[in-house]
Amino acid sequence: MNAKPLNPRSPDWDIDSMFTDRWSPRALASDPLSNREVRTLFEAARWAPSCYNEQPWLFVYATAPEQRQKLAACLAAKNQTWAGHAPLLMFILARRHFQKTGKENRHAPYDAGAAWMALALQARKLGLYAHAMAGFNLQKAYEVLGVSPEEFLVMAAIAVGRKTEDSGLPDDLRAMESPNSRKPHAEVATPVFPVVTPP
């Protein structure tokens, strides 16, 4: 009997495999990451593009168990069941205003998303997986992180670690533990003018 392929994703067009190889498992081993691995992740994020090179993102992270638990306590209960075991837990924030002018930076969330993607792709290059989460208590996150909601927008929580088969995940989460698919091209990209096909 043939084993199920680790990643059954098949792109419609020829793209680099790093895009289909990146996905968000919940079964992460608790084995600690090296200092070099952690710094490499944030170095990749540091080189993400941003409006006026503002680099408005801020990653607030924890690797020590007691500090990770403080961050994990901000997560939704279902996310706590798995993300609390990850060896690297963090929140990504976006500065609401340009540091040089003080004006509102409406591009900050877009730029922070670019930094997250850089980190996620670098994680795969290191044999790691990064899983971003929207399920957390926003007010508690501000309190635990000690940042002002007027200055920062707390965007997402992120867990990073190595995938493991010995996950201990509950049945409902274990059933979701596989790479997912994507919408068709027509639903995510469209020409500005209708394309006229010659008769």
What is the rounded distance in angstroms from the CA atom of residue 62 to the CA atom of residue 79? 16
Structure tokens at 148: 């002002």
Instruction: Tell me what pLDDT residue 195 has.
Output: 67
Is 197's pLDDT higher than 80?
no
What is the rounded distance in angstroms from the CA atom of residue 54 to the CA atom of residue 95? 9
- Three-state SS for the chain is CCCCCCCCCCCCCCCCHHHHHCCCCCCECCCCCCHHHHHHHHHHHHCCCCHHHCCCEEEEEECCHHHHHHHHCCECHHHHHHHCCCCEEEEEEEECECCCCCCECCCHHHHHHHHHHHHHHHHHHCCCEEEEECCECHHHHHHHHCCCCCCEEEEEEEEEECECCCCCCCHHHHCCCCCCCCCCHHHHCCCCCCCCCCC
Domains and CATH numbers, the chain: 28-174 (3.40.109.10)
Structure tokens at 70: 């403080």
8 Å CB contact between 115 and 53 = no
Amino acid at position 71, single letter:
L
8 Å CB contact between 147 and 57 = no
pLDDT band of residue 5 (cuts 50, 70, 90) is very low
The percentage of residues in the chain with a pLDDT greater than 90, rounded to a whole number, is 71
Is 22's pLDDT higher than 50?
yes
What is the rounded distance in angstroms from the CA atom of residue 48 to the CA atom of residue 2? 40
pLDDT band of residue 6 (cuts 50, 70, 90) is low
Predicted TM-score (pTM) of this structure: 0.90
User: Residue 31: what are its φ and ψ, rounded to 5°?
Assistant: -55, 130
